[in-house]
Amino acid sequence: MKINVEKCAQILREKDNILILTHAHPDGDTLGCGFALCRALLKLGKKAGVICADDIPGKYDYLYSNMDVFEFEEEYVVAVDVATENLLGSLSDRYGGRIDMCIDHHGTNTEYADKLLLNADAAAACEIILKVIKALGVQIDRDIANCLYTGITTDTGCFRYASATSNTYRAAAELIDLGADNGTINRVMFETKTKTYAALERLAIEGMEFFCDDRVCVITITQDMYARTGSNEQETEAIAPLTRQTEGVEIGLTIREKEDGSCKCSVRTFDSVDAARLASSFGGGGHKQAAACRFDCDVRQAKELLVAKCKELLQ
């Protein structure tokens, strides 16, 4: 059942022992949502916690570093920024089919939760969580503001993408006034490359391939490249935007080899191509200009399948 912000806040006020699920391969938006909502619920005197199937990259430490942690038996389960249950990764085994509420901004949300608060116009799910926390009547402190700002800035590529609306900018302004440290957060998220990532990025750029009259750019990240640079998959978030930066490119594909030899592809496009549509041809999903899908085959085969599909879409 779809609900609005007020209903969502009303339900949360009535519940306790709330477990918040974030998506696997976590990003700033799902984590920002999770920890902001958790902090707000704790301020209401409730027990709440956040879990994720995968390790949380170190750069997100500040989202939860000074947050109280409680032991509790979950009574209410909320997924944030999770479009489909399988995006929960290994958590879907335990929580699949029993998620009470989902708060999300993906138009492709499969409505798997009992209650769904969805706003596909929000550039980041954190924009929706900001409204929920205000509706809960919780005073937003600096920590909550930092969580929410983190989600908004990371999901918009630091306000760069067309998805960022005037509401997105206003939400950011409000959070800065409430204490969000925008300069430091953007520095950590966008201006800081570890030495291992810098090395990986250099290899990635060297190996860039172009197809369909240079309208498609492909970067392939292999396990061997991690081994050579000391980098790892957690560090590859910033690679995908590189694929669509060269003049004339309409589709950017980043194919990442997993440890088992299968792979995952991040799709980035501009207005002319619907990234979610391309990804959905391979069972994936996402937004109009940013989407993803998985492949059971190896990177070479995945690349062939993807490039063939791109040819079709660009015709």
> In the complex, which residues of this chain contact a copy of itself (CB under 8 A)?
153, 158-167, 169-170, 172-174, 176-177, 182-184, 186-187, 190-195, 198, 202, 205-206, 241, 244-247, 270
Cβ proximity to a copy of itself, 98 vs 160, nearer residue: 160
Sheet holding 290-295, edge to edge: 209-211, 216-221, 251-257, 263-269, 290-295, 285-286
Q: How far is the CB of 201 from a copy of itself (least distance, A)?
A: 8
Q: How far is the CB of 190 from a copy of itself (least distance, A)?
A: 6
The answer to whether the beta carbons of residues 102 and 96 sit under 8 Å apart is: no
The answer to whether the beta carbons of residues 155 and 124 sit under 8 Å apart is: yes
Q: How far is the CB of 174 from a copy of itself (least distance, A)?
A: 7
DSSP 139: P
Helix axes 142-155, 166-177, angle to 10 degrees: 150
How does strand 18-21 pair with strand 216-221?
Answer: unpaired
Q: How far is the CB of 128 from a copy of itself (least distance, A)?
A: 18
Q: How far is the CB of 159 from a copy of itself (least distance, A)?
A: 4
Cβ proximity to a copy of itself, 153 vs 236, nearer residue: 153
Cβ proximity to a copy of itself, 38 vs 189, nearer residue: 189
How does strand 290-295 pair with strand 285-286?
Answer: antiparallel
* CA–CA separation, 277 and 282 (whole Å): 9
Cβ proximity to a copy of itself, 68 vs 177, nearer residue: 177
Cβ proximity to a copy of itself, 88 vs 267, nearer residue: 267
Q: How far is the CB of 113 from a copy of itself (least distance, A)?
A: 30
* CA–CA separation, 101 and 12 (whole Å): 10
Angle (CA) 308 311 315, round 5°: 150
Cβ proximity to a copy of itself, 142 vs 202, nearer residue: 202
3-state secondary structure of 94: helix
